[in-house]
Amino acid sequence: MAGSVLRVLIVEDSASDAELMVRALRQGGCEIVQERVQTAEAMRAALARQSWDVVLSDYSLPHFDAPAALAVVRARAAARSCRSASKRPRRCAQRWPGNRGTSC
């Protein structure tokens, strides 16, 4: 998918694990714009700076975890108006086996 850009916020304490995620996404044919965060504060700041197409999270980090990351995303979404996902990430997501191209 030339020209498809997927903005990925990664909640991960391991730089090498985050790089594995990005590498797998690039193999799917998307250009990746990514940022890695490790705390709720850093995640809130990243969400305030720009919008993200997807958030990928390790389940357990030293000072943060996936349920807390989901709570941050939900709180942010509740504070903003709702909007549908763009078609660019959906086209990219459809390339993954078993993915029906749906978003959150």
In a domain, 54, yes or no: yes
Domain that holds residue 49: 5-93
Beta strands 64-65 and 60-61 are antiparallel
Considering the chain, what percentage of its residues have pLDDT values greater than 70? Answer: 72
Name the residue with higher pLDDT: 1 or 59: 59
Taking Cα atoms as reference points, which of 19, 98, 3 lies closest to residue 56? 19
pTM: 0.73
User: What is the pLDDT, as a whole number, of residue 96?
Assistant: 43
52 with 32: CB under 8 angstroms?
no
In a domain, 104, yes or no: no
In a domain, 88, yes or no: yes
Residue 82 has pLDDT above 60, yes or no: no
Total tally of structural domains belonging to the chain: 1
DSSP-assigned beta bridge partners for residue 72: none
Question: What band does 77 get if pLDDT is binned at 50, 70 and 90?
Answer: confident
Average pLDDT of span 62-87: 75
In a domain, 103, yes or no: no
In a domain, 42, yes or no: yes
Alpha carbons within 13 A on the beta-carbon side of 55: 26
| 3-state secondary structure at position 75 | helix
CATH value at residue 82: 3.40.50.2300
